[in-house]
Amino acid sequence: MQFPHILLVAALCGPVAAPVLAGAQTLDITVTNTGSETLLCRAAIAHWFSAELGEAAPGDSLSFSFGVVTETGAVFQLNEKGDQMAVQRIWCGRKGADWPTRAEIPMERRAGIVPAPVVLNCAVTGDKTECTAP
């Protein structure tokens, strides 16, 4: 007679998990550093925060993922409390000057569209970073 207890637990826990998971997909991004300087990638989160996504030394790759609500096209990152923080933009640039040398990473943000993975080769060239599809 444990089956009814399992249903009760599932019924109580289901609504809590559903808002985060319902309709959510992922936007997967891989950046390969084809240049000679270390890249730093960041995301602007919820209008006023900047989250570091990682570094890629020359010849290395960096991968990161964000949640996507396909019904709305919203791209998000979960914070430590499980809140969906809106991702406004993603960029990579020279470590130590990532913002002024940045290359914007494209994000598909259209309702009803499951985003394709983004795969880019990026390199710092002079005072900017250039990213192209391999």
Tokens 């020279």 belong to: 94
Cα Rg of the chain, angstroms: 18
Q: 96 or 47: which carries more pLDDT confidence?
A: 96
Q: Which amino acid is located at 62 in the chain? A: L
Which region among 4-8, 83-87, 115-119 has the lowest average model confidence (pLDDT)?
Answer: 4-8
Looking at the predicted structure, is the pLDDT value of residue 65 above 60?
yes
Q: 49 or 28: which carries more pLDDT confidence?
A: 28
Q: Which residues lie across from 129 on neighbouring strands?
A: 124
Q: Please report, for the chain, the start and end positions of each structural domain, with discontinuous segments joined by +.
A: 24-132
Q: 58 or 14: which carries more pLDDT confidence?
A: 58
CATH number of 24-132: 2.60.40.780
CA distance 17 to 82: 10
- Dihedral sign, Cα of residue 12, residue 13, residue 14, residue 15: positive
